[in-house]
Structure formats: structure tokens, C-alpha cells
Amino acid sequence: MPNSTKLTDKSDTRAAEAIVAAGGAAAPELLEWVQDINWPVAKILAPFLASAGSNVVPEIRQIFASNDDTWKWSVVVGVVAKSSELIALLRPELERIVHAPTVGERSEGLEQFVAKLLESA
């Protein structure tokens, strides 16, 4: 993690700001702090993670394969939607969400958001 700064909880905005200010590559493990886009640290880290490109793709694929639909929503809205590179790299997974959403993805409205995202990409 940049500058060895560690987040302690979802409200640790000081540490989140220090991580972003330190620059460098976004560590994929920071995605765990974007499990809910409403968390204070998520609002700071999501744009930073969006700029990480292929560095975070394997972890995002793992999130998409999980049953945590809130986390999927947060990652799509807060991270993937802010990066044309991530949209391109994750297109197969995004297409799956649109064409074969799980019950949970459908209840979150994720397939509708992703369909609009892909139309505008």
C-alpha cells in the first residue's frame, strides 16, 4: 500500500487521503474499502481505484463473481463507471450482468445501470 498507510475503519478519511496523496499504483486490496460507496473512505478511494486500470481488474472480477451485490454495485458505480479503460477490460463481465443478471443484481438494479453504462461507453 502506498506510503505504508493503513486504513482502520470506514470513516478513516485521513488515512484514505494520505494513501491518495502518496500517489503511486492503487493497491487492489483497497477495493475492500469500497464495499459500500456511501462509506466516507469509499468516496475518497473510488476515484483513485478507477485510475488504477488493469491493476485492479482481477480483484474486480472476483467481486463480480461473488454474492455481495452491494459491493458489486459500489464497485461498478464508484470505480468502473469512472474509467473507460476498466469498462473496456471488464466488458465481458458487464455484458453478463446485463444479459444474465443474478437475482441479487436485478434487485439492486445493477443490470439497468450497467446497460446504460455500456450504451454510453
Provide Rg for the chain, Cα atoms.
14
Q: Say if residues 2 and 22 touch (Cβ distance below 8 Å).
A: yes
Q: For 52-108, what is each residue's pLDDT tens digit? A: 999 999 999 999 999 999 999 999 999 999 999 999 999 999 999 999 999 999 999
Domains, in order of start, for the chain: 2-120 (1.25.40.750)
Over the stretch 11-33, which tens digit does the pLDDT of each residue have? 999 999 999 999 877 788 999 99
Mean pLDDT in residue range 1-16: 81
Contact 25, 19 (CB under 8 A): no
Helix residue ranges per DSSP H, the chain? 13-22, 40-50, 57-64, 69-78, 84-89, 91-99, 103-108, 110-120
Question: What pLDDT score does 27 carry?
Answer: 84
What is the grid cell recorded at 103? 437475482
